């Protein structure tokens, strides 16, 4: 942070100013003039919160994707399928047992195991052959999509939210102040808040694991120079399998989250693969903070776009991607390698 401020003083001022404006817009009650131009504050707040929660979901899916790419240089185009498998399994598990929270553990383990099998049986055999790996992952995604269609059919599934998370909750954020001075707080779906908190917790834990633990050190070393790490006696295949399983498990968890506040159906796999690609391209391939930033930007762009410019909302995401590719091809937080 300090380093960035020293190198780019002008940008730091602009970014700090923008952040301050955003914080003011969220917490302070809006004056009437602003409400006339932008519509009600409630709408703005909801769009921002929805964007952030959507970003949380994108982060869950994309962080696994970017981790696998960073370490193994493997563009796993079957990542969307892992998302959808996780969602369907989560639906079946929580439907059978009624335990929504436990379904996350269950799905993380099962989809993680699928990841282990994929890495151990398939990708280990074609290490370093980028094109071959990419083609194989495309093939796998098609096979998975058809198997899922065969088992779960073409209908849509939504996962039941547990009672303690259904319905709205009140946030300590002022939505408006009525003429009689009564303060109206923002009410917002509880389940989305839970998702947001979970995504932040997972993100922080991942950052800590990568930067403060031994296994994290190994992974970072592997990202920087695989050959040197292998030469220094680390059994790098174990690290690969562990990272692939972890990334796959995260995608599976993403599936439950997506199934809870959106829905699951054939085609969602491709949608989330595409979203992950955009997120990591914007944020920077292989970077976890980059995935977080990219997810936040894409989520906010989608939601603010759908409220304030519905006609063009589809374009915004790709416009951002094109801009990043044009001016900073390695991604916002991508390394310069």
Partner 1 sequence: MKRFLTASVAIGAILAGSPAFAQETIKIGILVALEGAFADGGKDGVRNVELALRQVNNMIAGKKVETVVAPTDTTPDTTIRQARKLIEQDKVDFIVGPLSGSEGIAMRDYAKTIPDKTVINGISGALETTWVDPAPNFFRFNLDGSQWGYGLGSYVVKEKGWKKIATVAADYSFGYTNFLGFAVDFCKSGGDIAERFWVPLGSSDFGGVIAALPDDVDAIYLGVGGTDAINFLNQYEQAGAETNLIGGTIMADQTVLTSKGRAKEALAGTPTSGPFANDNPDPAWQSYVKLYQDGFPENERFPSPSLFGLGYYTATLAAITALEQIGGDLSDGQKKFHEALSNLELDSPTGKIKLNENRQASGTVFVTEVVEGADGNLTSKMVAKVDNVTQTLGMTPDEFRAMGLPSRETPDCAKLRGG
- Annotate 228-258 with b (16+ C-beta within 10 A) or e (fewer): ebeeeeeebeebbbbbbbbbbbbbbbbbbbb
Q: What is the token pair recorded at 52?
A: 């952030």
Binds partner 1 by CB under 8 A, chosen from 63, 119, 137, 265 = 265
**Distance of alpha carbon 248 from alpha carbon 117, whole angstroms:** 11
| Residue 195 sits in the site that holds partner 1 (CB under 8 A) | no
Binds partner 1 by CB under 8 A, chosen from 77, 78, 293, 307 = 307
Whether residue 195 contacts residue 261, with contact meaning beta carbons closer than 8 Å, is answered with: yes
| Residue 193 sits in the site that holds partner 1 (CB under 8 A) | no
**Distance of alpha carbon 37 from alpha carbon 184, whole angstroms:** 21
Whether residue 332 contacts residue 284, with contact meaning beta carbons closer than 8 Å, is answered with: yes
Q: Which is nearer to partner 1, 219 or 264 (CB)?
A: 264
| Residue 47 sits in the site that holds partner 1 (CB under 8 A) | yes
| Residue 176 sits in the site that holds partner 1 (CB under 8 A) | no
| Residue 330 sits in the site that holds partner 1 (CB under 8 A) | no
| Residue 54 sits in the site that holds partner 1 (CB under 8 A) | yes
Binds partner 1 by CB under 8 A, chosen from 188, 240, 244, 316 = 188
Exposure of 211 by Cβ count < 10 A (0-12 exposed, 13-18 middle, 19+ buried)?
exposed
The kind and range of the H/E element at 84 are: helix 79-97
Query: Least distance to partner 1 from the beta carbon of 330, Å?
Result: 29
Stretch that binds partner 1, among 36-44, 224-232, 243-251, 290-298 (CB under 8 A): 36-44
Whether residue 243 contacts residue 64, with contact meaning beta carbons closer than 8 Å, is answered with: no
Nearest CA to 274 out of 127, 83, 86 is that of 83
264: Cβ contacts below 8 Å, ≥ 6 apart: 84, 87, 88, 91, 156, 157, 158, 159, 255, 258
Binds partner 1 by CB under 8 A, chosen from 53, 133, 287, 317 = 53
Stretch that binds partner 1, among 103-111, 128-136, 184-192, 288-296 (CB under 8 A): 184-192
| Residue 310 sits in the site that holds partner 1 (CB under 8 A) | yes
Binds partner 1 by CB under 8 A, chosen from 2, 9, 33, 154 = 154
| Residue 313 sits in the site that holds partner 1 (CB under 8 A) | yes
Binds partner 1 by CB under 8 A, chosen from 5, 130, 138, 156 = 156
Query: Least distance to partner 1 from the beta carbon of 38, Å?
Result: 12
- The count of C-alpha atoms lying within 13 angstroms of the C-alpha of 331, restricted to the half-sphere facing its C-beta, is 25
| Residue 6 sits in the site that holds partner 1 (CB under 8 A) | no
Alpha helix ranges (H) inside 158-267: 190-212, 214-224, 226-231, 236-261
| Residue 304 sits in the site that holds partner 1 (CB under 8 A) | yes
Q: Which of residues 94-133 bind partner 1 (CB under 8 A)?
A: none
Classify residue 165 by its DSSP letter.
G
Helix, strand counts (H, E) of the chain = 14, 2
Stretch that binds partner 1, among 50-58, 132-140, 287-295, 326-334 (CB under 8 A): 50-58
Kindly calculate the radius of gyration of the chain based on its CA atoms and give it in whole angstroms.
21
Residue numbers at the binding site for partner 1 (CB under 8 A) = 39-40, 42-43, 45-47, 49-51, 53-54, 91, 154-161, 166-168, 187-192, 261-263, 265, 267, 271, 302-304, 306-307, 310-311, 313-314
């Amino acid at each position: 942070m300090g380093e960035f401020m020293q190198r780019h003083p002008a940008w730091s001022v602009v970014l700090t100013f923008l952040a301050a404006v955003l914080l003011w817009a969220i917490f302070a009650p809006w004056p009437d003039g602003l409400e006339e131009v932008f519509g009600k504050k409630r709408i703005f707040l909801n769009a921002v919160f929805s964007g952030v929660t959507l970003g949380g979901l994108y982060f869950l899916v994309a962080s696994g994707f970017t981790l696998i790419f960073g370490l193994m240089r493997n563009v796993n185009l079957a990542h969307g399928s892992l998302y959808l498998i996780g969602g369907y399994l989560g639906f079946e598990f929580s439907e059978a047992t009624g335990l929504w929270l436990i379904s996350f553990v269950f799905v993380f383990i099962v989809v993680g195991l699928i990841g282990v099998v994929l890495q151990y049986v398939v990708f280990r055999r074609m290490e370093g052959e980028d094109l071959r790996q990419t083609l194989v992952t495309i093939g796998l995604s098609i096979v998975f999509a058809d198997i899922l269609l065969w088992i779960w059919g073409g209908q849509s599934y939504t996962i039941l939210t547990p009672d303690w998370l259904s319905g709205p909750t009140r946030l300590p954020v002022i939505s408006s102040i009525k003429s009689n001075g009564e303060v109206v707080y923002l009410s917002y779906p509880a389940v989305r808040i839970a998702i947001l908190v979970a995504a932040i917790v997972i993100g922080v834990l991942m950052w800590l694991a990568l930067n403060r633990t031994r296994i994290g050190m190994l992974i970072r070393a592997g990202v920087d120079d695989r050959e040197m790490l292998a030469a220094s006696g680390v059994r790098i295949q174990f690290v690969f399998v562990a990272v692939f399983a972890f990334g796959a498990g995260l995608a599976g968890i993403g599936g439950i989250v997506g199934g809870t506040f959106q829905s699951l159906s054939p085609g969602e796999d491709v949608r989330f693969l595409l979203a992950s690609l955009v997120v990591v391209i914007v944020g920077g391939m292989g970077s976890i903070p980059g995935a977080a930033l990219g997810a936040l930007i894409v989520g906010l762009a989608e939601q603010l776009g759908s409220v304030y410019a519905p006609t063009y909302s589809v374009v915004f995401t790709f416009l951002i991607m094109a801009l990043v590719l044009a001016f900073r091809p390695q991604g916002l937080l991508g390394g310069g390698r």
